[in-house]
Structure 1
């Protein structure tokens, strides 16, 4: 074949569509979050069950925070912990989803947020029951008694999922206003938003440690679970967008 014809043949090959590349990026990113989050959770669970690894720091971190308490920090972190309790988070998520559905006249993203929250607290209750880990000494609790089990931290898990999923749905939902995976979001904006969500989850986790209700490994495991659930949400949203993007026969 002449050189000119070979060049024409190469140029005639269809290039990958931008939407396809975006879908791959979404799926790989979501899978990465899922694997990383699950890895953190299982590492913490193994540490707790074998009393090794990070679990060796549980007692020291707890004692240090109890000894370093101050009235100002106690008031602030108690307020943070109260607002981010599972019951309050469900109420906030429900009201937000209702307002979103009414104002934007859409159901998918509000339903995705509510589904993620319901799955989070269901999974948290199941894991607590299966692991059956006791809390630190009740004498160190600063907000009254709590008979629930310790692993994982429901406050941290719920807040992490709520904030991370909410940021994704607001900024990076696969089903953007201009079609699947085409919502224009500046990278600095996305980085700042997800960083703020992560810091919010870390603050709640620290509040549970400071107030005496959880061990360090409880909180770290909860953060891993929150990342994993966020990855699942992104996968589900991306699969829906990919199906919508397939042309009808």
Structure 2
């Protein structure tokens, strides 16, 4: 009995339904994030809407300060500064690339952090909004512009994008929905804590941090869309490459000439006949 070796199976592609859900989720995050950001920007420029809450929220948090909360939120805001988050993101991406021998997802994380820093700096200079009164600053003077909050923006992008990339690296079939929900809930909670620290320590208005949350959602949506498009393109290319490689399989070459397809056997017989003719 001949042992026939099977051709290698093509790599599993994510189901079409999963890809569609991923694209809808990315589009939803992008639209929601952009809506929040532009709504906050309009409120700031017109000094209406959510901007009416800026002063009351600021005054209430300043009046409620206590030593324990101050120590905790000071540590949070120190660790999540834009420079710190950029460095942490680059180091984590480097470790990921070396450990997993993968470049795409670490590059997505680094690219998202770099885009966050650039977009935040650009918007700050375009809007030119001043910070609250310096007398309420708890960590010393800061003459940077206020809108949006770089701490909140950077932390939100880092946590949300990292959460998505970790879940995506495990595969859509192996990750439970509850795990995804808990992961993104933790990322959202971490972002809220950073936003609270900026309000509590007196460096930002409420609309500053809300606009940053919207921007973080939008950047996360772009990252998910980019990763989903790459996965879809790779999935389409895989069957073509597999079909090309399977034209002549090891199973066929392992068979004797009598058992091979007629066309191949005929070509060998013709070649032998041609050699005999020239002798």
How high is the TM-score relative to the length of structure 1? 0.89
User: For residue 242 of structure 1, what is the aligned residue in structure 2?
Assistant: 232
- Secondary structure at the counterpart of residue 145 of structure 1: coil
Measure, in 2, the Cα distance between the counterparts of 1:90 and 1:160.
Answer: 12
User: For residue 232 of structure 1, what is the aligned residue in structure 2?
Assistant: 222
Q: Deviations over 1:187-246 (max 9, x none)?
A: 111111110000000000000000000000000000011001000000000011111011
1:164 is aligned to 2:160: yes
User: For residue 97 of structure 2, what is the aligned residue in structure 1?
Assistant: 101
Residue segments in structure 1 that go unaligned for 5+ positions in a row: 1-16
Residues 75-94 of structure 1 mapped to structure 2, 5 A cutoff: 75-94=71-90
Measure, in 1, the Cα distance between the counterparts of 2:168 and 2:102.
Answer: 16
Shift of 1:114: 0.3
The answer to whether the 8 A contact 1:136-1:214 is kept is yes
The answer to whether the 8 A contact 1:159-1:201 is kept is yes
Measure, in 2, the Cα distance between the counterparts of 1:100 and 1:133.
Answer: 38
Shift of 1:172: 2.8
- Secondary structure at the counterpart of residue 172 of structure 1: helix
Residue segments in structure 2 that go unaligned for 5+ positions in a row: 1-12, 242-279
User: For residue 111 of structure 1, what is the aligned residue in structure 2?
Assistant: 107
Larger Rg: 2
The answer to whether the 8 A contact 1:120-1:158 is kept is yes
Shift of 1:91: 1.0
Q: Identify the match of residue 37 of structure 2 among 41, 58, 67.
A: 41
Measure, in 1, the Cα distance between the counterparts of 2:228 and 2:221.
Answer: 10
- Secondary structure at the counterpart of residue 162 of structure 1: helix
Q: How many residues align?
A: 227
Q: Identify the match of residue 188 of structure 1 among 159, 178, 181.
A: 178
User: For residue 211 of structure 2, what is the aligned residue in structure 1?
Assistant: 221
Measure, in 2, the Cα distance between the counterparts of 1:243 and 1:83.
Answer: 38
- Secondary structure at the counterpart of residue 246 of structure 1: helix
Shift of 1:18: 6.4
Q: Identify the match of residue 19 of structure 2 among 3, 14, 23.
A: 23
How high is the TM-score relative to the length of structure 2? 0.79
Q: State the Cα RMSD in Å.
A: 1.3
Shift of 1:183: 4.3
The answer to whether the 8 A contact 1:172-1:183 is kept is no
Measure, in 2, the Cα distance between the counterparts of 1:208 and 1:200.
Answer: 13
User: For residue 191 of structure 2, what is the aligned residue in structure 1?
Assistant: 201
Shift of 1:158: 0.3
User: For residue 254 of structure 2, what is the aligned residue in structure 1?
Assistant: none
Measure, in 2, the Cα distance between the counterparts of 1:183 and 1:87.
Answer: 36
Measure, in 1, the Cα distance between the counterparts of 2:16 and 2:182.
Answer: 26
